[in-house]
Amino acid sequence: MTTPDWSRYWRSPDRPLEAMHAHFEEHVYHRHSHETYSFGVTDDGAQAFRCRGGRHTSAAGMVMAFNPDDPHDGHAATDLGFTYRIVHIGPELVSDVLEGAGLPLFAEPVVRDPVLAGALRRLHRALIGGAPALRREELLHDTVAVLVRRAATSGRPRPPLPRGAAVIAERVRRRLHDGFLDDVTAEDLARAAGASRFAAYRAFQAVYGMPPSDYHRQLRLREARRRIARGEPIGEVAAVTGFADQSHLTRWFGRYFGITPGAYREAASDRYPTRLADLPG
């Protein structure tokens, strides 16, 4: 059965800069986060998602703003689905544009601002449409500047965490990063955290917005993405990064990133990719 979902992807071969254009009716994003700032604009329809403890909807013309490591999911809000564009920009690129002024924080996941939407569309079209490098650089600078000026904030105070939760969560996070290719157990995390298994789980969930198992899988998927970008065979990448086989990697890759590993591998080009990516169910 042919899915109505499609996605087209572009990524820079040498910088943390990527862009996707997609239409989803059936696809559901698993809860995940990005290492980058991620700014999207909805062209048609509406996308519903959970982020920062709330439920949000981005309808046509609205802008989505995710900070690095902001956990979120996503799915169509209606049977007609949604079409959107999203640009992922590494923190180092944002820092370069701001010339050391400090990294911004975007407190509102959804912003209704036609100026921001227009800026993002221009940048997105330049990236995926093969605009000259200088033009892309100028639009990147202008878009980051207008995003910070119109939507960034000094942030809202977070609700208080249980005593010691931040310390426990950081120890769990460090253990997951140190052994992201290991078959980590709850007992391993408890030992690293110096707490019970349940205390370690609760603290990590409270601080990072997802269970340790999801975070662990995400680290393996990010490593898979890096290896695929370097040109390593997808089947070998699946084995090295702890997935049962290539199909297993492909299913989770789609749930987190919205495209297949093969489409991601082919996306490092200055030309707009024309092949539609078949997403796993």
DSSP string, 66-125: E-TT--EEEEESSTT-EEEEEEEE-HHHHHHHHTTS---B---SEE--HHHHHHHHHHHH
The pLDDT value given to residue 273: 38
Tell me what the mean pLDDT of segment 94-123 comes to: 92
* CB atoms closer than 10 angstroms to residue 246: 18
Between 161 and 111, the more confident residue is 111
DSSP single-letter state for residue 64: E
pLDDT at 104 over 80: yes
The pLDDT value given to residue 158: 56
pLDDT at 16 over 80: yes
The pLDDT value given to residue 102: 84
pLDDT digit string, tens, across residues 42-97: 999 999 999 988 999 999 999 999 999 999 999 999 999 999 999 999 999 999 88
pLDDT at 241 over 90: yes
When pLDDT is cut at 50, 70 and 90, the band that residue 126 belongs to is very high
Residue 249 DSSP SS3: helix
pLDDT at 133 over 90: no
The pLDDT value given to residue 154: 55
Tokens 């990294």, residue?
103
* pTM for the structure as a whole: 0.82
CA distance linking residue 60 with residue 117, whole number of Å: 10
pLDDT at 207 over 60: yes
The pLDDT value given to residue 101: 75
Q: Which of 217, 176, 169 is nearest to 195 (CA)?
A: 169
CA distance linking residue 77 with residue 25, whole number of Å: 9
The pLDDT value given to residue 47: 97
CA distance linking residue 241 with residue 59, whole number of Å: 36
Q: SS in 3 state form for 174-224?
A: HHHHHCCCCCCCHHHHHHHHCCCHHHHHHHHHHHHCCCHHHHHHHHHHHHH
Terminal C-alpha separation, the chain? 11
Paired tokens of 128: 């995926």
Report the number of secondary-structure helices (H) and strands (E) in the chain: 10, 9
CA distance linking residue 278 with residue 104, whole number of Å: 35
Q: What percent of the chain has pLDDT over 90?
A: 73
- At a CB cut-off of 8 Å and minimum separation 6, what does 147 contact? 39, 65, 104, 106, 116, 119
The pLDDT value given to residue 278: 46
When pLDDT is cut at 50, 70 and 90, the band that residue 112 belongs to is very high
pLDDT at 183 over 90: no
The pLDDT value given to residue 160: 63
